[in-house]
Amino acid sequence: MLRWAIALVIVAVAAPAFANPKRDHVVVEAKSLKPQDLQAMTLEEMLTEGEKSVQDMNLTVREVLDSLASARKANDFARMNCIGTSLSSIKGLLRISDQNALSLRERVIARDRPGAEHEFVKMRIARQKVGELMSQARSCGGPSGDTVFEGEAVVEKDFAEDLPIEDVRTALNEPVFSTEAPPSASPFY
């Protein structure tokens, strides 16, 4: 009886180690970057976060490549094409982000704050786009092991403070059409 209990404890402890690990890497920005937040960051913080963005994008490429390999293994050509399209866009954004990271490092060394902010914002936009493309690659071919639908759909609205929240169509009026002929362009004709 004791042998069975020990064997059961060993299996219970070792099973999670041999289980298929669930991927928890997701490149999604929790909030948008506001100008005040950008001004509050130091140049070194921008550099650190920029390099972290490039690392996250590299992990995303690896994860999408794994999805492509599993689609290739399953001979799912539609899914391979869909993932391949997303992957090529992600690779292009990663290449540009690598160049931006180098430019950001040069701007930080030169203490050029406006230039560093510009490069950082470009990297931030690329990171958000890579997150969207990764979601697109995950949803290729319909629901699979990577796609989980639980509960009600959640709709989040994120409005910039400088954009109007009310409906702008209320300010529009009916167009006025005139049935009269337009005036002559030349008084001599």
The rounded distance, in Å, linking the Cα atoms of 106 and 111 is 9
pLDDT digit string (tens) for 5-61?
Answer: 454 445 444 444 444 444 444 444 445 778 888 888 899 999 999 999 999 999 999
Q: How confident is the model at residue 164 (pLDDT cuts 50, 70, 90)?
A: low
Query: Which H or E element spans position 96?
Result: helix 77-109
Residue 89's domain spans which residues? 43-144
Residue 13 inside a domain? The answer is no
One DSSP character per residue, 121-146 reads: HHHHHHHHHHHHHHHHHHTTTSS-TT
**Residue 163 included in any domain:** no
Domain count, the chain: 1
**Local confidence band at 139 (pLDDT 50, 70, 90 cut-offs):** confident
58 vs 64: CA distance, rounded Å:
10
In a domain, 161, yes or no: no
Residue 157 lies in a domain: no
Please provide the size of the chain in residues: 189
Angle at CA of residue 32, ends 26 and 36, nearest 5°: 140
pLDDT confidence bin for 185, thresholds 50/70/90: confident
Do the domain assignments include residue 109?
A: yes
Rounded distance, CA 132 to CA 125, Å?
11
Residue 101 belongs to a domain? yes
Cα–Cα distance, 21 to 13 (Å, whole number): 15
Looking at residue 30, what is its pLDDT?
44
* Contact between 97 and 123 (Cβ < 8 Å): yes
94 is a domain residue: yes
pLDDT band at 76 (very low <50, low <70, confident <90, very high): confident
pLDDT for position 160: 74
Cα gap 106→139, rounded to integer Å: 38
Does the pLDDT of residue 149 top 70, yes or no? no
167 assigned to some structural domain? no
**Cα 89 from Cα 62, distance rounded (Å):** 14
From the list 23, 36, 21, the residue with the least C-alpha distance to 161 is 36
Spatial contact of 121 and 29, defined as CB atoms under 8 Å apart: no
